[in-house]
Amino acid sequence: MSRIVRRVRQPGVYFVTTHTWQRRALFQKDAPAQILLAQILDCRDRGFYLLHAFVIMPDHLHLLLTPAESASLEKAVQMIKGGSAHRIRKELRYRSPVWQPGFHDRWIRTVEEFRARSNYIAQNPVAARIVQSALDYRWSSSCGTFRLDTGQFEGTSGAKAPSFLAVDVAVETATHKAQTAAK
């Protein structure tokens, strides 16, 4: 199988999808899903990327992220996949591979595309009939318990989310808080 060669990267937001080894429903269990979630948040906190949205599905992962200037998209995804695989093998004594090699990405060019991909991430567990409402899926940024990034990295990385993102996420956050309060 040939691999996609990534030569040039545009700065900005990317929609990333990656699958578990042989599409196994590894993240249907809490322990591996919790390890993956911790790795996603830890890598964000370590400055590899700005995290805008995510969902951990039983056999795949979707992310909306902006890589740091000091870390390529490939490095950001490698940190998530490699770190989570290492911890799952070590802590859960998992013997099989965790991830399929590689990942798929799409550079987000417009606010409409950002909204469409955010909505897709939020509604993925609903479409898969895992939950009735996106707010009820705890392995997703849509549940409202995770800090999402809208602006610049702090410190030296200098990576910036596109200007449309700050306004869009602020509107979505206000909408989500109103939905949660009404629940």
Q: Is position 2 within any domain?
A: no
Question: Residue 137 in contact with residue 152, Cβ under 8 Å?
Answer: no
Please check the confidence at residue 32 and state whether its pLDDT lies above 70: yes
Overall number of domains in the chain: 1
In a domain, 6, yes or no: no
User: Which pLDDT tens digit goes with each residue over 67-87?
Assistant: 998 889 999 999 999 999 999
Q: What percent of the chain has pLDDT over 70?
A: 77
Phi, psi of 55 (to 5 degrees): -150, 130
Asked if residue 48 lies in contact with residue 76, where contact means CB atoms within 8 angstroms, the answer is: yes
How much is the pTM?
A: 0.80
Q: Which domain holds residue 21?
A: 14-182
Q: Which is more confidently placed, 15 or 6?
A: 15
- pLDDT tens column, 101-133: 999 999 998 889 999 999 999 999 999 999 999
Q: Which residue has the tokens 């939905």?
A: 179
* Per-residue CA distances from 125 to 16, 151, 174 (Å): 16, 27, 22
Q: Determine, yes or no, domain membership for 8.
A: no
76 in any annotated domain: yes
Rounded CA-CA distance 17/35 in Å is 18
Question: Do the domain assignments include residue 176?
Answer: yes
Mean pLDDT of 89-93: 96
Asked if residue 71 is part of any domain, the answer here is yes
CATH number, domain of 64, equals: 3.30.70.1290
Give the pLDDT of residue 158.
43
Query: What is the model's pLDDT at position 71?
Result: 86
| Within-domain flag for 4 | no
SS (H, E, C) 6-54: CCCCCCCCEEEEEEEHHHCCHHHCHHHHHHHHHHHHHHHHCCCEEEEEE
Which of 59, 136, 62, 52 has its CA nearest to residue 100?
59
